Amino acid sequence: MRRSLRAVLLGVLGVLLVAAVWDLYKAFGPEQGVLVGERVLILPRASDLAMPHTWEMVQRLFEPATGLRGAPTALEAVLEASGFTLSIAAKGWAIGVAVGLLLALLMSRFKLAESGLLPWVVLSQTVPLIAIAPLVRRWGAQIEFGSFTWENEHSVALIAAYLAFFPVAVGGLRGLKSPARTHVELMHTYGVGWWRTLITLRLPASVPFLLPALRLAAASAVIGSVVAEVSIGLRGGIGRMVVEYAQSAGGDPAKAWAPIFGAVAVGLVAAGAVGLLTLALRPFRLTETSR
């Protein structure tokens, strides 16, 4: 209990420290930044436009988002957009994890699948998101069966999944192949087949490899959703909001920071959710002890 309290206090202290450094620089840093030569800016401008006071950013959260009558506060708008993005990222994460695990299983079961698939899995991550986003949207638009029609929302979730599956596939494969030879041979001497070896030995042994992969997948899913919202042009999420609010930065510099805080919050919540999963799987985190 005391340790967790300490962790919370240290966390808060860290945030306050960043805020303090920000405002100290703003107070003492040069208005035009520090230039090397004509063009290379090595320290940022400390102007109000580039660096609003931290308290102004916080204050701005509680003011109306737009000039319209009855507009919600910026905080409410950001929270709503964050929730929207988070739900898309969660769907993308779930799909990505499922696909990643399936691929890992397939690759660990068949040597041929591993040598055939793994290069493609790696290659898939070198394709820039901005290039595939419009493609996904166009292909998706042609999908229609029954009452189901493909929405832009689905395209965003798919792209989030596209980023999320990678760490799970690679980490899962390593984890499934991690049991020592002694363990595998022991299962063989018990005369149990692949399936039961998987359940009894390989899956539990892969947990220490899977947990960081799942966390990485959560972060990737959030980034994927935010970027895909922008490149597909999906309204309602935090990605689009970042772009919209940035446009008003000229007259209202603190406002642009509100959705950025929202994006950070989404990332933290996603990582925290996976952290809960870590707690549930704690027994399996015990590392190899019997050499």
Complex with another protein: residue 197 or 231, whichever CB lies closer: 197
Q: Under 8 Å CB-to-CB from 165, ≥6 apart: which residues?
A: 95, 96, 97, 99, 100, 103, 217
Please give the helix or strand (H or E) that residue 253 lies within, else none.
none
Complex with another protein: residue 198 or 263, whichever CB lies closer: 198
Report the half-sphere exposure of 43 (CA within 13 A, side-chain side): 12
Complex with another protein: residue 26 or 202, whichever CB lies closer: 202
Complex with another protein: residue 40 or 280, whichever CB lies closer: 280
Question: Between 171 and 210, how does the x/- string for binding to another protein read (CB under 8 A)?
Answer: ---------x-xx-xx-xxxxx---x---xx--x--x---
Complex with another protein: residue 19 or 186, whichever CB lies closer: 186
Instruction: Report the helix count and the strand count for the chain, using DSSP H and E.
Output: 11, 4
Residue 284 binding another protein, by CB under 8 A? yes
Q: Which stretch binds another protein (CB under 8 A): 33-41, 87-95, 267-275, 278-286?
A: 278-286
- Return the exposure string of 139-178: e unless at least 16 CB atoms fall within 10 Å of the residue's CB, then b: ebeeeeeeeeebebbbbbbbbbbbbbbbbbbbbbbbbbbb
Q: How far is the CB of 120 from another protein (least distance, A)?
A: 29
Question: To the nearest 10°, the Cα dihedral for 92, 150, 241, 166?
Answer: 20
Strand, coil or helix: 69: coil
Residue 4 binding another protein, by CB under 8 A? no
Q: How far is the CB of 204 from another protein (least distance, A)?
A: 5
Beta-bridged to residue 148, according to DSSP, are 145
Q: How far is the CB of 279 from another protein (least distance, A)?
A: 15
> Using the rule CB under 8 A, which residue among 4, 142, 147, 290 binds another protein?
290
> Using the rule CB under 8 A, which residue among 3, 69, 111, 291 binds another protein?
291
**CB 161, CB 221: distance < 8 Å:** yes
Complex with another protein: residue 53 or 174, whichever CB lies closer: 174
Q: Which stretch binds another protein (CB under 8 A): 14-22, 99-107, 168-176, 279-287?
A: 279-287
Question: Between 203 and 242, how does the x/- string for binding to another protein read (CB under 8 A)?
Answer: -x--x-----------------------------------
Backbone angles phi, psi at 145, to 5 degrees: -140, 135
Cα separation, 54 vs 74, in Å, equals 15
Complex with another protein: residue 184 or 243, whichever CB lies closer: 184
Residue 289 binding another protein, by CB under 8 A? yes
Q: Under 8 Å CB-to-CB from 1, ≥6 apart: which residues?
A: none
Q: Compute how many residues bind another protein; rule: CB under 8 A.
A: 23
Cα separation, 235 vs 237, in Å, equals 6
Q: Indicate the residue type of 160.
A: A
Residue ranges binding another protein (CB under 8 A) = 180, 182-183, 185-186, 188-192, 196, 200-201, 204, 207, 283-284, 286-291
